[in-house]
Structure 1
Amino acid sequence: MLLVLASFAGAQERALHKEVVVAAPIAEVWRAWTTREGVTSFFAPGAEIEARVGGAFHVHFDPFAAPGAKGADDMRYMALQAPTMLSFDWNAPPHLPQVRQQRSFVIVRLKELEGTSTRVSLHHVGWGEGAEWDQAHAYFDRAWGAVLANLKKRFESGPIDWSAWLEQLRKMHAQPAAIASQPAR
């Protein structure tokens, strides 16, 4: 019996689990995850959203970057069970190139609480082995907490204002062009 329990414990899937209670009815929280306006109100400044199984769930943290480097460029919805569950595939940020070529999976569950609030549970699975996967896991352990905090904030004080973030990105993208246009010495 102990051997069976020990081998079950060793086979457990590595996962991230985050949860937040949002001061909004479940239908509003559902729209935040399944519309372009909703996703850009808390998740990232740019998005292409097509809420259907296999549809686009492209979340652009850097809308000015080249295709493939904007963020979650080619992600898609895996399942939509309105208004209680959605899932999508996901990848790592560009600074983790080996892992970025792979996909992991995120499941978001919504549970209405007394009609005025919603519990949002996020479960991220599909992690590989090795140092770069460990870095990705640590990255998303922090990042998903921030995403859910932004979702909560969006319903407490309004949509996230991405203007300062976008201005910083514009300046960053303008720097290489300015350096390249300087005469050689």
Structure 2
Amino acid sequence: MSRKLKTIIENNDIYFDFVINVPVSGVWKQLTTEEGIKSFFAPHFKVDFEVGGRFEILFDTAQEAGKQGSEGMTILALEKEKLLSFTWSAPPEIPTIRLQRTMASFYLFEESGKTRIVFRNIGFGQGEDWRKARNYFIRAWGEIVLPRLKYSLEVEAINWLNMQSIEPINYSQ
């Protein structure tokens, strides 16, 4: 299993670059189908796979509406087997900026039957709460979501009732 990944934080942006040992078509299916989203992102979601459609990943359905996850987020761009882009908000623990949006994007590149993923989360502001949100998402994307995506494609879908131990990804330089 290739474990090369890269993380760079420039101008408040979050950037991860890594390879998954699966063709682009398989990664695209994981990112743009209900079965795929459930296999790595979260067991509960409301997603309409079209530009302008919902991209609501519900991480904690025990919370009140508005604090369950990415409620109100939308898909900004879909380019088959190349790009998925959507809005993203700060976690409920940072209410001062939760109503503002960043943009998260998965760029997919075919590399000899494997897929290079360049993931970006951009649009973070400058203040202390934005710094907290950025640090939160460096961990959330880099240590949780992206490793789960890689694991779900190279090993098996996430078992939400009995969570597997997932090795971290070493990001490319």
Q: Do the structures match in fold with TM over 0.5? A: yes
- Residue 175 of structure 1 corresponds to none
Query: 87-96 or 15-24, which moves further after superposition?
Result: 15-24
> Which residue of 1 is the match for residue 121 of structure 2?
124
Unpaired segments of 5 or more residues in structure 2? 1-9, 164-173
- 1:86-124, CA deviations, whole angstroms, 9 ceiling, x for partnerless residues? 100000110010111110001210011112x11111111
Which of 137, 141, 148 lines up with 1:144 in the alignment? 141
User: Which amino acid in 2 is paired with 1:141?
Assistant: I
- Tell whether 2:147 aligns with 1:133: no
Partner Cα distance (1:164, 1:65) in 2? 21
CA-to-aligned-CA distance 1:149-182 (integer Å, 9 cap, x gap): 11111112210011147xxxxxxxxxxxxxxxxx
**C-alpha distance in structure 2 between counterparts of 1:107 and 1:152, whole Å:** 16
Inter-partner Cα distance in structure 2 for 1:47 and 1:23: 26
In 2, Cα distance between equivalents of 1:99 and 1:18: 23
SS of residue matched to 1:41: helix
What residue ranges of structure 1 are gaps of 5+ in the alignment? 1-11, 166-185
If each structure's helix is expressed as a fraction of its own residues, which one has the higher value? Answer: 1
Task: Find the aligned partners of 1:76 and 1:37 in 2 and give their Cα distance.
Answer: 19
Structure ranking higher on relative contact order (CA contacts 8 Å, 6+ apart): 2
Other structure's SS at 2:105 match: strand
Once residues 148 and 36 of structure 2 are traced to their aligned partners in structure 1, the CA distance between those partners, rounded to angstroms, is 12
- Residue by residue over 1:32-90, the C-alpha shift from the partner in whole angstroms, topping out at 9 and shown as x without a partner, is 11112111111112111111100011111113322211111111100001110110000
How far off its partner does 1:133 sit?
A: 0.5
The alignment's C-alpha RMSD in Å is 1.4
What number of residue pairs does the alignment pair up?
Answer: 153
1:61 pairs, out of 59, 66, 78, with 59
Alignment-derived partner of residue 47 in structure 1 = 45
Residue 34 of structure 2 aligns with an amino acid whose one-letter code is: R
1:83 aligns with 2:77: no
Aligned counterpart, 2:68: 70
Asked whether the 8 Å contact 1:35–1:50 carries over to 2, the reply is: no
Tell whether the 8 Å contact from 1:41 to 1:159 is kept in structure 2 after alignment.
yes
State how far apart, in whole Å, the 2-side matches of 1:142 and 1:20 are: 16
C-alpha distance in structure 2 between counterparts of 1:38 and 1:81, whole Å: 17
